[in-house]
Amino acid sequence: MRKIMKRIQLTKSEREIEQNIDEFVPVSQREMAEIAQAIADRKKDAVLNIRISRKDLEHIKERSHKLGVRYQSFISEVLHRVAHS
């Protein structure tokens, strides 16, 4: 059986990391555990359906495009920052 590789779309910042991978240094086990915990804490495990104005959505999409991220990820990050401020 032949495996089909799914092509992953990287964000702008992820592409920069990939291009500069040789500049990164190893981290300690403790730092790695902290990173793993931060990733686990940010796991998206809930669904939210909201209604917003079309113009607001267009502006959000424009801003996220300029940042090189998907608009849903951008919205999620904004909500995260508001929830934790």
Q: What is the pLDDT along the chain (85 residues), one digit of tens a residue?
A: 556 656 778 888 888 888 888 887 888 999 989 888 888 887 888 899 999 999 999 999 999 999 989 999 899 989 988 998 8
Q: Is there a contact between 68 and 13 (Cβ–Cβ < 8 Å)? A: yes
Q: Where is 83: in which H helix or E strand? A: helix 71-83
Question: Residue 8: what pLDDT?
Answer: 76
Task: Provide the whole-model pTM.
Answer: 0.56
Question: Residue 82: what pLDDT?
Answer: 93
Q: Which residue has the tokens 């190893």?
A: 26
